[in-house]
Amino acid sequence: MARTTIEGSAHWTKRDGADLYLWRKRRKGLRKPAGTVILVHGSSMASTPSFDLQVKGEAGSSLMDHLAQRGFDAWCVDFEGYGRSTKHRPVQCGIERGADDLLAAAKAIRKASGAGSFMLYGISSGALRAALFAQRNPKLVSRLVLDAFVWTGEGSPTLAERRKRYAGAAPESRRPVNPAFVESIFTRDHPGTAAPKVVKAFARAVCELDDSIPNGTYIDMCERLPLVDPAKITCPVLITRGQFDGIASFDDILEFFRLLPNPDKQLAVMPGIAHASLQEKNRAIVFHHIERFFSQPDPIYRG
């Protein structure tokens, strides 16, 4: 594919007294996008390290660039408590607040882009935020990708360990983040799935924005699941799961998948991938799944 110029622009919106940062990537001169995409980050890092990571000498490290090159209007948002957004207030930055922040972001994106509905991709707790948003706002979501997703938490070794560490933690509390912690994300499930060069660049990008992050989503995932009702998610859904991901068991995902009412639904298992799929050696696989699903034609015959 011939490369075209990609332009990025920063935007801001407000919700409930908080300033929320949005980042946009699209092809220069783009008039009619293939779709407007909102990318939803997880528990331990802001949006731009997750979705627009730039690694010197490493092609294809940014999902936003990948989508923009293919004609999509790609957006991401820092939820309250993360990155460039407001993070000084003692509030619980959990799944439900994230879904509310996402609605504020969607309204701002609609005003800036003219989009009537959005394609959403969420990873880890971001997948929970995106799924809850789709459940609450069905008319705003045309397609939904849930990556590294967990529904009830049953059978999750990662969450079992996390419950021990965060039992009794205050919902509005924060935890420190440093390069060693970020790097541990890539070794806890199956070492070797990510290149050290990319991991170090990712850790550096995360820690340049945050030295602490909210505990709200961790507490929600340990104590409050399920937060999403699959029967109320009516849009087409793709669930992507890394082969080595320790967050959700297959049985948990399969039961969620079975209960989704829209027949336009897919489940993809990605070989050689653990939890943080977008920064791993096989990230081209998840990039491909996202682009393919977002590009899928709508059915003509529905039966």
Task: Check which CATH number belongs to the domain holding 287 and give it.
Answer: 3.40.50.1820
302, part of any domain: no
* pLDDT of 254 over the 70 cut: yes
* Total domains in the fold of the chain: 1
> Could you read off the pLDDT of 154-174 as tens digits, one per residue?
999 999 999 999 988 999 999
* Domain ranges, residue 199: 6-295
Provide the token pair at 181.
């912690």
Task: Tell me if residue 152 falls in helix, strand or coil.
Answer: coil
Chain-wide mean pLDDT for the chain? 96
Least confidently predicted of 4-8, 176-180, 271-275, 280-284: 4-8
24, part of any domain: yes
66, part of any domain: yes
37, part of any domain: yes
55, part of any domain: yes
| Residue labelled with tokens 């998948």 | 257
> Residue length, the chain?
303
Share of the chain above pLDDT 70, in %: 99
254-261: long-range contacts at Cβ-Cβ below 8 A with a sequence spacing of 24 or more?
255/151, 256/149, 256/151, 256/230, 257/230, 259/230, 259/231, 260/230, 260/231, 260/233, 261/230, 261/231, 261/233, 261/234
127, part of any domain: yes
CB 57: neighbour CB atoms within 10 A?
6
Share of the chain above pLDDT 90, in %: 94
- How much of the chain is in helix, strand and coil states, percent to nearest 5? 35, 20, 40
301, part of any domain: no
pTM above 0.95, yes or no: yes
300, part of any domain: no
Q: At what angle do helices 125-136 and 95-113 cross, to 10 degrees?
A: 70
